C-alpha cells in the first residue's frame, strides 16, 4: 500500500521526472505518426498495385502465349472455382507509343501494353475507378465533371465530347491538307526541282496522316492511356503555377509499335485513345497502356485459323481475382500443380512485386528500430533522473526500512514509479500521436502556410491527402515497448535503493 501511495505522491511532486518522460512521449508519438503514415502509404500502394495486377497471375513463359484462353479459364474455374470471383485473359507486351506533337513530329514513349477485354478486366480489378471519364476530377483548378455515369458499361467508345473534339480536329487537318495541296498545285509548275528529298508526295501524306481522312471514324485499335503519359505538369511561365498540359486527349490517334509473336518482327498499328486512367501509382500511370484484345492479337499474329473455319486466339496471362485473398496460397498450390511450370508461371501479385514490397518492409522496420533507439535514449534519461531521485530519497528509504519495509518493497516502489512514469509517458505519447495522425492534413496545410513551402506536393505523391492507417497492434506494441524501457531503466536505481542499508541511509550528521 505504502508503495502505491508513495509512487503516486512522487509522480505528483517530482516534475523533473515528468520532464524525463516527455522524451518517451515524443518518441512514442513519433513512432505512431511515422508508422501510421508509412502504413497508409504502404496500403494505398498495395491496393493500387493489387488493383492493377489482380490477385493471382498465371503468365505464359513465352511471349507467343498459349492458345485458347477460354479453355484455360474454364479449367481454372473447375479447379478452384469456389475461391475465385473473376478471371480474365490478357496479352502483355512491350511497346512504343508515339504521338504527334504540336510540331508535327512523333514523340515516342516506351510502354507496357496490356490488351484486355474491359468487361472481364473489371471483374478482376477496379478498372472503372481508374478511368477518368467516369469521375469528376480537377484539372488546373477547374472541376471536370464525370462524362459517364458509373452504371454505363465499359467499352471502347468515345464520349460525345471527345467525339466532337476529334471531329473538329479532323476538320482542321482536312482543311490544312487541302490548303497545302492547293499551295503545292500552284507552286508545282514553277518548281523545277522535284528531287528535294524532304518534299512529301501527296500519296505518302494521306497514308501517314492519322487524323486526316476517315474523320469521325475510329481506328480499330482502341486505347486507355495512363494520365502520366497523356499529360505532364509544368510551371506556367506567366502565372508561376503548376499547370497540367495535355499531350494526348481522348479522341486522338496514336501509333503503337510492338513486335509480332513467333520470330519477333516489328509491327505497328494506329489506335484511338478512348480514355485516360489514373491509378495513383506513378509507375503505372506513366507506363501502362490498355488496348483492345482482338486488335493486339491480330497485329501480333496470335490467331490460329482452324480447319473448320473457326479461329483460336492466344493470351499471355490470366488474371484471377479471389473472393478472399487469404485463400491465395491454396489457389496457388492448386494452380501450380495443374499448370506445368515449363509453360506457366503462377504467382500472387505480392510475389510478382516481391522486391518492391520487401524494400518497403525493410525500410519500415529499419525506421522502427531507429525510432525505438530514440525511446531507448529516453530510457537512459529516466535512468539518470531516477538515480538522482534515489540519492535524494536516501533518507526516506532509510525511514521506510526502519519502519520495517523490506528491500523488495523499497525496490518495488521505484519499479512501480518507473512503470507509472512509463505508462504516463506512453499514454500521453499515444494520445499526441493519434491526434497528430487524425489532424495530419490540417497540420500539413499549416506547415505549408507557415513555411511557404509545400510539404506534401500532390504532383510527387499522387495523393490529395496524406494517407494514414493506424494499426492498433502497432500502437499497442510501441506503447508497451516504451513502458518496458521505462521499467528497465528504473531497475538499476531501484536495486540501488533496495540495497541501501538503513543506517547508511539515516546517517545525517
Q: Which residues bind other proteins (CB under 8 A)?
A: 1-2, 4-6, 9-10, 13, 395-396, 398-407, 409, 501-503, 506, 508
**Least distance (Å) between residue 490 CB and other proteins:** 18
Residue 58 pairs in a beta bridge with 318, 346
**Helices (H) then strands (E): counts for the chain:** 19, 16
**140 within 8 A of 181, measured Cβ to Cβ:** no
Q: Cα–Cα distance between 53 and 124 in angstroms, integer?
A: 9
In the chain, what's the furthest Cα-to-Cα distance? 125
For other proteins, which is the closer residue by CB, 93 or 505?
505
For other proteins, which is the closer residue by CB, 11 or 434?
11
DSSP assignment of 60-121 equals ESSTT-EE-HHHHHHHHHHHHGGGEEEEEEEEEEEEEEEEE-TTS-EEEEEEEEEEE-HHHH
**Least distance (Å) between residue 1 CB and other proteins:** 4
Non-local CB neighbours of 124 within 8 Å, separated by 6+ positions: 54, 55, 86, 87, 88, 319, 320, 321
**Least distance (Å) between residue 498 CB and other proteins:** 11
For other proteins, which is the closer residue by CB, 400 or 478?
400
- Angle 407-438/394-402 helices, nearest 10 degrees? 130
For other proteins, which is the closer residue by CB, 126 or 502?
502
**Least distance (Å) between residue 10 CB and other proteins:** 7
**Least distance (Å) between residue 449 CB and other proteins:** 47
Q: Cα–Cα distance between 270 and 219 in angstroms, integer?
A: 7
Which CA distances in Å does 359 have to 41, 279, 365, 369, 469?
13, 21, 10, 15, 19
For other proteins, which is the closer residue by CB, 72 or 393?
393
**Least distance (Å) between residue 17 CB and other proteins:** 13
**Least distance (Å) between residue 400 CB and other proteins:** 7
For other proteins, which is the closer residue by CB, 189 or 404?
404
For other proteins, which is the closer residue by CB, 250 or 418?
418
For other proteins, which is the closer residue by CB, 445 or 496?
496
For other proteins, which is the closer residue by CB, 18 or 470?
18
Pairing of strands 266-277, 137-139: unpaired
Q: How many CA atoms lie within 13 A of 191 on its CB side?
A: 11
What Rg do the C-alpha atoms of the chain give, in angstroms? 34
**Least distance (Å) between residue 395 CB and other proteins:** 7
**Least distance (Å) between residue 409 CB and other proteins:** 7
For other proteins, which is the closer residue by CB, 249 or 407?
407
Give the count of beta carbons closer than 10 Å to the beta carbon of residue 493: 25
- The 8 Å CB, 24+ separation contacts for 151-154 are 153/119, 154/118, 154/119, 154/121, 154/122, 154/127, 154/128
**387 within 8 A of 489, measured Cβ to Cβ:** no
Non-local CB neighbours of 439 within 8 Å, separated by 6+ positions: none
Q: How many CA atoms lie within 13 A of 409 on its CB side?
A: 16
For other proteins, which is the closer residue by CB, 180 or 395?
395
**Least distance (Å) between residue 385 CB and other proteins:** 17
**Least distance (Å) between residue 21 CB and other proteins:** 18
Find, among 231, 460, 483, the residue nearest to 379 by Cα: 483
Amino acid at each position: 500500500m505504502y508503495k502505491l501511495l508513495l509512487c503516486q505522491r512522487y509522480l505528483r511532486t517530482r516534475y523533473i521526472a515528468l520532464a524525463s518522460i516527455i522524451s518517451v512521449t515524443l518518441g512514442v508519438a513519433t513512432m505512431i505518426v511515422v508508422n501510421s503514415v508509412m502504413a497508409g502509404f504502404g496500403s494505398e500502394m498495395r491496393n493500387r498495385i493489387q488493383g492493377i495486377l489482380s490477385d493471382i497471375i498465371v503468365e505464359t513463359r513465352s511471349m507467343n502465349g498459349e492458345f485458347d484462353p477460354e479453355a484455360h479459364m474454364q479449367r481454372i474455374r473447375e479447379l478452384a472455382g469456389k475461391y475465385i470471383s473473376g478471371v480474365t485473359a490478357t496479352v502483355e507486351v512491350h511497346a512504343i507509343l508515339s504521338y504527334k506533337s504540336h510540331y508535327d513530329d512523333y514523340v515516342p514513349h516506351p510502354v507496357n501494353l496490356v490488351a484486355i477485354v474491359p468487361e472481364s478486366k473489371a471483374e478482376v480489378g477496379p478498372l472503372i475507378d481508374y478511368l477518368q471519364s467516369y469521375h469528376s476530377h480537377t484539372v488546373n483548378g477547374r472541376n471536370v465533371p464525370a462524362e459517364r455515369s458509373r452504371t454505363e458499361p465499359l467499352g471502347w467508345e468515345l464520349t460525345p465530347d471527345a467525339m466532337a473534339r476529334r471531329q473538329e480536329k479532323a476538320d482542321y487537318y482536312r482543311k490544312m491538307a487541302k490548303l497545302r495541296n492547293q499551295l503545292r498545285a500552284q507552286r508545282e509548275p514553277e518548281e523545277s526541282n522535284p528531287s528535294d528529298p524532304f518534299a512529301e508526295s501527296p500519296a505518302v501524306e494521306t497514308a501517314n496522316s492519322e487524323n486526316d481522312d476517315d474523320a469521325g471514324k475510329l481506328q480499330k485499335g482502341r486505347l486507355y492511356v495512363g494520365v502520366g503519359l497523356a499529360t505532364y505538369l509544368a510551371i506556367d511561365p506567366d502565372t508561376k503555377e503548376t499547370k497540367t498540359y495535355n499531350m494526348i486527349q481522348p479522341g486522338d490517334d496514336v501509333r503503337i509499335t510492338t513486335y509480332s509473336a513467333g520470330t519477333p518482327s516489328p509491327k505497328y498499328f494506329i489506335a484511338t485513345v478512348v480514355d485516360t486512367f489514373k491509378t495513383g501509382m506513378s509507375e503505372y500511370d506513366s507506363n501502362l497502356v490498355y488496348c483492345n484484345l482482338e486488335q493486339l492479337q491480330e497485329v501480333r499474329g496470335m490467331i490460329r485459323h482452324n480447319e473448320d473455319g473457326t479461329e483460336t486466339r492466344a493470351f499471355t496471362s490470366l488474371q484471377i481475382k479471389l473472393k478472399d485473398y487469404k485463400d491465395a496460397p491454396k489457389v496457388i498450390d492448386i494452380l501450380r500443380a495443374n499448370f506445368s511450370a515449363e509453360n506457366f508461371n503462377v504467382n500472387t501479385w505480392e510475389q510478382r512485386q516481391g522486391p518492391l514490397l520487401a524494400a518497403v518492409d525493410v525500410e519500415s522496420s529499419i525506421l522502427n528500430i531507429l525510432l525505438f533507439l530514440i525511446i531507448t535514449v529516453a530510457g537512459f534519461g529516466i535512468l539518470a533522473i531516477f538515480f538522482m531521485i534515489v540519492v535524494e530519497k536516501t533518507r526516506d528509504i532509510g525511514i521506510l526500512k526502519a519502519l520495517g519495509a523490506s528491500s523488495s518493497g523499497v525496490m518495488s516502489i521505484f519499479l512501480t514509479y518507473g512503470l507509472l512514469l512509463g505508462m504516463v509517458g506512453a499514454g500521453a505519447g499515444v494520445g499526441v500521436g493519434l491526434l497528430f495522425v487524425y489532424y495530419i492534413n490540417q497540420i500539413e496545410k499549416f506547415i505549408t502556410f507557415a513555411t511557404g513551402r509545400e510539404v506534401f506536393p500532390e504532383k510527387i505523391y499522387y495523393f490529395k491527402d496524406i494517407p494514414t492507417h493506424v494499426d492498433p497492434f502497432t500502437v499497442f506494441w510501441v506503447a508497451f515497448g516504451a513502458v518496458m524501457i521505462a521499467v528497465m531503466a528504473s531497475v538499476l536505481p531501484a536495486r540501488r535503493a533496495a540495497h541501501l542499508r538503513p543506517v547508511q541511509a539515516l546517517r545525517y550528521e
